[in-house]
């Protein structure tokens, strides 16, 4: 391995090691939360709703839950890891190393991405054991999930870098992300909503992400798949470019 490869592997290992050390909080809690959603919405409500667009209700809900766990965990990991290290001053050890802005950004991003991937993967395995979950379009599902994970990793990095206190991170997660995800159609179809809520849902970017992942699993979508994939790719690339610029400038990282 070259010195640069060792450096990048170490930066990444540190991020993964951090959440693995507090597994109960970083992996256990989100898994339990997802399991509770499946129980409440799938078993309890599902017995009344039965089907949506010809799909068993619990199967309709699970793709959105998998996408949600990938997104929230990618975001939460990176935002709190960066803010915590800024608080402790420990981030100075990485910042004063020869690591480039790109290496630092990718390592912080992949930490959250890995956590999201693990939680989403375990959710998928658990859901597959409970219900018959199809995978209809794997070539849409895999890139969609990876783009969702990477997008929220970037959002987590951006929030962590900008944040000056834990309240700043909690604000984005509680007052921005959670409402957008819940109102993006994880638990229902937007076509069932009365106006103007049906139209308003189309302005929620997470609606398109949920539809991409749902299409990958069950083959049903309310939006254009190519257009949604294109928009998600563009948004992820845009956010990555913004973060790279902030890291290169040392924004709120270097005095």
The residues of the shown chain that bind another protein, judged by CB under 8 A, are 1-4, 6-7, 9-11, 13-14, 17-18, 21-22, 85, 88-90, 92-100, 250, 254-255
Minimum distance between the CB of residue 116 and another protein, rounded to whole angstroms? 19
Using the minimum distance from each CB to another protein, give the nearer residue, 81 or 211. Answer: 81
Q: Residue 123: which of 75, 72, 55 has the closest Cα? A: 72
Minimum distance from CB of 42 to another protein (Å)? 36
Determine if residue 121 is left, alpha or beta; phi over 0 gives left, psi from -120 to 50 gives alpha, anything else beta. Answer: alpha
Close Cβ partners of 14 (under 8 Å, ≥ 6 residues apart): 94, 107, 111
Query: Which residue lies nearer to another protein by CB, 137 or 252?
Result: 252
Query: 65: which 2 tokens?
Result: 């839950």
Least Cβ distance, residue 3 to another protein (angstroms) = 3
Distance CA 189, CA 27 (A): 29
Let me know: does 60 contact 214? Beta carbons within 8 Å: yes
Shortest Cβ 156–another protein spacing (Å): 17
Q: CB of 7: closest distance to another protein in angstroms?
A: 5
Provide φ and ψ at 248, rounded to 5°: -65, -35
Which C-beta is closer to another protein: that of 175 or that of 251? 251
> Which residues are paired to 52 by β-bridges?
55
Considering the complex, state which of residue 93 and residue 164 has its C-beta at the smaller distance from another protein: 93
Measured from the CB atom, is 202 or 245 closer to another protein? 245
């Amino acid at each position: 391995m070259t010195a640069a490869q060792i450096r990048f592997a170490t930066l990444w290992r540190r991020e993964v090691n951090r959440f693995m050390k507090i597994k109960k909080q970083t992996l256990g809690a989100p898994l339990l939360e997802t399991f509770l959603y499946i129980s409440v919405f799938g078993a309890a409500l599902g017995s009344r709703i039965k089907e949506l667009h010809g799909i068993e209700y619990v199967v309709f809900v699970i793709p959105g839950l998998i996408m949600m766990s990938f997104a929230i965990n990618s975001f939460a990991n990176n935002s709190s890891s960066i803010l915590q290290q800024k608080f402790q001053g420990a981030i100075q050890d990485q910042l004063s190393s020869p690591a480039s802005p790109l290496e630092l950004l990718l390592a912080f991003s992949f930490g959250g991405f890995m956590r999201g991937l693990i939680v989403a993967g375990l959710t998928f395995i658990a859901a597959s054991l409970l219900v018959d979950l199809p995978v209809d379009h794997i070539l849409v599902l895999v890139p969609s999930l990876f783009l969702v994970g990477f997008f929220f990793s970037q959002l987590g990095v951006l929030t962590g870098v900008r944040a000056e206190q834990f309240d700043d991170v909690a604000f984005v997660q509680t007052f921005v992300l959670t409402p957008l995800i819940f109102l993006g159609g994880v638990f229902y179809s937007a076509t069932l909503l009365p106006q103007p809520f049906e139209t308003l849902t189309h302005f929620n970017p997470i609606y398109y992400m949920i539809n991409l992942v749902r299409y990958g699993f069950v083959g049903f979508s309310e939006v254009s798949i190519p257009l949604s994939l294109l928009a998600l790719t563009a948004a992820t690339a845009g956010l990555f470019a913004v973060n790279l610029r902030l890291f290169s400038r040392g924004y709120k990282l270097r005095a």
